[in-house]
Homo-oligomer: A and B are copies of this chain.
């Protein structure tokens, strides 16, 4: 088959699809069963096809699909999986492959999403459930349109190990695939389109935004109740408890059945927690132990290979999913379990099913590896949706089309800085990521990690192996409590940010590149020849790193162990210190020395930040919170506060409120806040009395 003229079909406003070669029985979007939010997509601006169609090529050769997309000179490419060390992927090669993260941005990662978004304002998604190789501006064709300069390494110091490349090339190891192009007037709008196409971002229940503690593996019901009491006595936020493997009669492989010496009365245990306003989240991995009641039923519907002696349910089969549903409803959902942590659906190769495994559905092991995270997310989220109950859990593998799933990705890796890079990159690819805290070598590291996890989609301490508590380092207990409670105070703001994720596709935590007016680019630093360490004098790239936005207003610039100062790149407009309201700079790079107590936060001029009282739990459905509304900067501002019942899916049927908050200057030039009445929609869970804080002294 020779190169073909692709037929680009605009399937939604600003989203085009082309089909190449043979349709594949499985794809990422099929596994995720995406349900595009057509209405929200229609609300976005209209755009024209963003690429030169004549420069896109697709060819099927010997059962593989060869794809090429053009690149312009200054373009940068973001996305292409949950990378931990790099943002801009141009010039890199990714072998997209669901796996644990092994300390190099190779494409093997928890969410190797084959989607990239360009600084030129478009995105490309390859909807293939295979190990894709992406040359993101790396390969150079003999007949390239824009050829690199020919240089002699003998004599020309400008010789480069990686000459300029004018294309993204993607090898899909199947005889056909589907490709999507997303337009947008900005990178953010492209990402919005991608998220809305995937059904819109997930709106967690309010309790999901509270603090969660995962307890040691063998904790019993009583141990957990004592843990909850300890949180109370330490005056520490806690909304849900992660119950680790020991709740089961066997783990690795799992029975998904309660172990009765540690948990003699599961229903009573879950109810007791719920009465205290604490949800329970159960750890599982999906590999079924021969000793449980599920085994014999699922065995004929499982893969050829075991994982830790457990069988691997073929989740492509409805019959398998039904068997699991029955077992999980009976044992967990019916007694009030709020969600799951779904472990080890990513890798490592050493213990996951090998690529040589087979499955009764005919899905290859490779495809199963790429979609298993999507399949478990899709299956389990349907269970909770059927109960009209929002869940919020953890999963270790994901892929394209996952924006609407109620799961946050985490892993075993533990580089604090790289965790932040992952958090930032998650915003390009429609997934959520938590830089979970487990243990630390010092109080300083502990505090720094706790500060960042509180400014992430899930504020979690995972004590499964170490038995740590938020107060494990007494010398910083107060500061740890402060930041956890600050997160709780920001609930109105954060919940609205997640509502934006749902309704508009705007990621709640997002890269600086997704901010309008952010024009800093990554810089190439020339390489220096070193016969041993850099024999090709390869260059390095300096990027803006370790800073991100939470919602529209707050720039988070975390500190890391051993650092007393750092640079912060401030985008266009004036920026203010979150804690003091002081002006800090305007479209410039500042150096800050923030001290240990607080995580550096900066607020955009004119921002309004709704907060609530200091509290340790998300509100119950019928509970009203107080509002404190902050204003920053020297210009007027506006904020649309979102609210709903916080737990059900009724908001999807219009059961939510949106309240306009405005801060305007009065005749004397003083700022004055207004809440427009009446509230638009309901429920609205705030008391009428509002405290206004004008943070900046002008």
Residues of A participating in the B interface, judged by any CB pair closer than 8 Å = 61-64, 66, 68, 91, 93, 133, 135, 138-143, 147-148, 150-154, 159, 161-163, 169-171, 173, 217-218, 245-246, 248-253, 259, 289-291, 299, 302-306, 308-309, 311, 349-351, 353-358, 364, 412, 414, 438-439, 464-466, 529-532, 535-536, 538
Q: Is the CB of A532 within 8 A of B142?
A: no
Q: Is the CB of B302 within 8 A of A248?
A: no
Q: Is the CB of A350 within 8 A of B142?
A: no
Q: Of the candidates B93, B169, B466, B535, which one forms a contact with A350 in the assembled complex, judged by CB atoms under 8 Å apart? A: B93
Q: Is the CB of B364 within 8 A of A62?
A: yes
A-B contact pairs, 19 of them (CB 8 A): A91-B350, A133-B355, A133-B356, A142-B299, A142-B303, A153-B245, A154-B246, A154-B250, A161-B308, A161-B350, A161-B351, A162-B351, A171-B356, A414-B532, A438-B531, A438-B532, A465-B529, A465-B532, A465-B535
Distance in angstroms between the alpha carbons of A145 and B495 in the assembled complex: 54
A372 to chain B, nearest CB (A): 16
Q: Is the CB of B355 within 8 A of A142?
A: no
Q: Is the CB of A170 within 8 A of B356?
A: yes
Instruction: Give the number of copies in the complex.
Output: 2
Chain B residue, CB-CB nearest to A358? B61
Q: Given that A66-B356, A133-B356, A532-B414 are contacting pairs, would A308 and B252 also be in contact in the complex, using a CB cutoff of 8 Å? A: no
Q: Is the CB of B291 within 8 A of A350?
A: no
Most chain-B Cβ atoms within 10 A of its Cβ — which of A140, A147, A251, A291? Answer: A140
Closest 3 CB pairs of A and B: A465-B531, A153-B252, A139-B354
Q: Is the CB of A356 within 8 A of B161?
A: no
A676 to chain B, nearest CB (A): 50
Most chain-B Cβ atoms within 10 A of its Cβ — which of A141, A154, A305? Answer: A154
Q: Is the CB of A349 within 8 A of B252?
A: no
Q: Is the CB of B248 within 8 A of A154?
A: yes
Q: Is the CB of B140 within 8 A of A304?
A: no
Distance in angstroms between the alpha carbons of A306 and B138 in the assembled complex: 11
Most chain-B Cβ atoms within 10 A of its Cβ — which of A354, A357, A532? Answer: A354
Q: Of the candidates B61, B138, B354, which one forms a contact with A138 in the assembled complex, judged by CB atoms under 8 Å apart? A: B354
Distance in angstroms between the alpha carbons of A689 and B566 in the assembled complex: 77
Task: Chain B residues near A169: list those with CB within 8 A.
Answer: 354, 356
Q: Is the CB of B66 within 8 A of A140?
A: no
Q: Of the candidates B143, B159, B171, B364, which one forms a contact with A355 in the assembled complex, judged by CB atoms under 8 Å apart? A: B171
Distance in angstroms between the alpha carbons of A668 and B629 in the assembled complex: 108
Distance in angstroms between the alpha carbons of A171 and B357 in the assembled complex: 10
Most chain-B Cβ atoms within 10 A of its Cβ — which of A161, A218, A306? Answer: A306
Task: Chain B residues near A290: list those with CB within 8 A.
Answer: 150
Chain B residue, CB-CB nearest to A462? B531
Q: Given that A133-B356, A171-B355, A251-B153 are contacting pairs, would A530 and B465 also be in contact in the complex, using a CB cutoff of 8 Å? A: yes
Q: Is the CB of A142 within 8 A of B439?
A: no
A666 to chain B, nearest CB (A): 55
